[in-house]
Structure 1
Amino acid sequence: MMTDNLSKTLCIRRGITAVIGSGGKTTLLRELARELSACGSVILTTSTHIRPFPDLPCLASFSPDSLENEAVIRSRLSVSPLLCIGTPAKEGKLSAPPLPFDHLARLADYVLIEADGSRGLPIKAHRGGEPVIPDGTRRIILLAGFSGFGKPVRNAVHVPERFLALTGAGEQDLLTPELCGEAIQKEHLADVIVLNQADDLHCPDSALRTETLSLCRRFAKKTDLPVFAGSLREHFLIRIDRES
């Protein structure tokens, strides 16, 4: 199944959605925010850290009075249905806003949260206390980067020591779809997985597409979660059938 509507494919409901993992969180958040703002109001924020979206309206200055902050957010959303919110942090990033996330969910139809950090690596394993999922979250989407397959674990995985503990692999071992799927299954942190960067699934070269699809299926067979694979930048995902 191909999709041109990511929010519908990933079953995004009103309320809080958290995006975790690695390999495309920012792209997914942007695409979901763009889609959902066509049918409701959207707050884009973080429970950890996020870089501001330079082309999106942003609120990063707050009053000590929470009621005043809520009034400002309502006013901004009445002008634009999409608003990025966060508290200024180091290196130009934003950290979590001062308002509780359940309050934000009363101010906007959809609250999209980046709830994980990965330092740009394609795969993420999680330490204790990670990811930071707010209470009341209705959907958790885990991103994994297809580009990590075939690379040494130490070069492809953020928090490799946790990944090694989960899988028994060595840090010099090549990252296989099976190892990645095994680690994600053992953590079991999400409702659905997006295997991003599998661009060749959309390739007219049937040999490349077949090879990529085979790797995606090998990954999917190691987890009981729904798996979609493809390219978020191309707005292309397919549901991976484990049985074929």
Structure 2
Amino acid sequence: MQEAFSVSSGDLVIFVGGGGKTGSMNRLAIELMALGKRVIYTTTTKIFPTELANELHLIGDLETSLLWERIVPQPGSMVVLGKEINSMGKIVGLDKDQVNGLMGAASDLVILVEGDGANGKPFKAPRDYEPVIPEKATIVVPVVGIDALDKPLDDKYFHAWEQISALTGVPRGGIIRGKDVAQVFLHGDGYQKGVPDSARWIPFINKADTGEDEVKAQELAGILKEKGVARVVFGSLRRENNPVEVV
């Protein structure tokens, strides 16, 4: 994943959408640590703790200027940052200013951030207050599970299905196709919302676990490419091989 998304030292990578944000962050973190990078793993919403971290730091309302003095991941290791653990056992994330303030704290640092929640569903559209993307983000990755395609639009398969309907015109119970996913990705109130002008925007199509799923992923990638997207990545986090880059 590190090569597919061209992640390097100094990057602030935001994952949004559904169908593999946490798995993507975990895979990328492992690869970055293997390269000797320092990794900070956090959220601007809420996430469950990951077992990958060397350390979990709960910082409360500590000023951003003091964060790096107290939290220094060693080269090749990762720390998870949050404000607190809530009653559901989730890490309450940092605000955008705190995340922005971590940029440049070390020459070999990469920051990975989950920017919205999907309740375990393969696809969603952002609600009014989502996604939460820091202004200094360098890479934004909207994620979709290819298993969302050809499913009826309801809360069994989709999170915030009302927003998907509003952006695509597909009614509740209507079948979601690749063009509908692409429309949510590319819509100004979808996953173009809040993306800094200087950030690279690279969709990831996950769960291409079978030959049939891979064909669907290629077709969706083709739609996005036809709409002018410079780079699309697709593959399966369940398989050992890295995702395939489509240029």
What TM-score, normalized by structure 1, do the two folds share?
A: 0.83
Contact 2:17–2:124 (CA<8 Å) still a contact in 1?
Answer: yes
Larger Rg: 1
Note the C-alpha offset of 1:129: 2.5
1:104 is aligned to 102
Root mean square deviation, CA, Å: 2.3
1:11 aligns with 2:6: yes
- Structure 1, unmatched stretches of 5+, are 1-5, 201-208
Name the amino acid aligned to 1:93: K
Aligned residue number for residue 3 of structure 1: none
Residue aligning to 1:185:
186
CA contact (8 A) 2:146 2:213 kept: no
Extract unaligned runs of 5+ from structure 2: 196-200
Residues 232, 65 of structure 1: CA spacing in aligned structure 2 closer, same or farther, 3 A cutoff?
Answer: closer
- Report which stretch shifted further, 99-108 or 149-158: 99-108
**Counterpart contact for 1:43–1:104, Cα < 8 Å:** no
1:164-197 superposed Cα distances (whole Å, 9 cap, x missing partner):
1111111111222222122212234260111101
Q: Check conservation: 1:63, 1:69, Cα contact below 8 A.
A: no
Contact 1:22 1:122 in 2 (8 A): yes
- Distance between the aligned counterparts of 1:101 and 1:57, measured in 2? 19
Give the CA deviation at 1:91. Answer: 0.7
Aligned to 2:198: none
Q: How does 1:20-31 map to 2 (within 5 A)?
A: 20-31=16-27
CA contact (8 A) 2:32 2:76 kept: no
Listed one character per residue, the Cα deviations across residues 58-89 of structure 1 (whole Å, up to 9, x for unaligned) are 33333766455432202xx1376211111222
Tell me if structure 2 keeps the 8 A contact 1:122–1:146. Answer: yes
Give 1:119-138 correspondences, 5 Å limit. 119-138=119-138
Distance in structure 2 (CA, Å) of the matches to 1:167 and 1:97 = 31
Instruction: Please state if 1:82 is matched with 2:83.
Output: no
Residue 22 of structure 2 is aligned to residue 51 of structure 1 = no
Give the Cα–Cα distance (whole angstroms) in 2 for the partners of residues 80 and 216 of structure 1. Answer: 33
CA separation of 1:135 and 1:196: change in aligned 2, threshold 3 A? same
Matches within 5 A, 1:65-214: 66=63, 69-74=67-72, 77-78=73-74, 81-88=77-84, 89-97=86-94, 100-108=98-106, 109-154=109-154, 155-186=156-187, 187-189=190-192, 191-200=201-210, 209=211, 211-214=212-215
Looking at structure 1, the residues matched to 93 and 215 of structure 2 have their Cα atoms a distance apart, in angstroms, of 39
Return the structure number with greater helix share: 1
The secondary structure found in structure 1 opposite 2:138 is: strand
Q: Helix, strand or coil: the match of 1:121?
A: coil
Residue aligning to 1:204: none
Any conservation in 2 of the 1:23–1:145 contact (CA below 8 Å)?
yes
Tell me, in whole angstroms, the C-alpha distance in 1 between the residues paired with 2:184 and 2:118.
15
- Identity among equivalent positions (%) equals 25
Q: How many residues align?
A: 225
When normalised by structure 2's length, the TM-score is 0.82
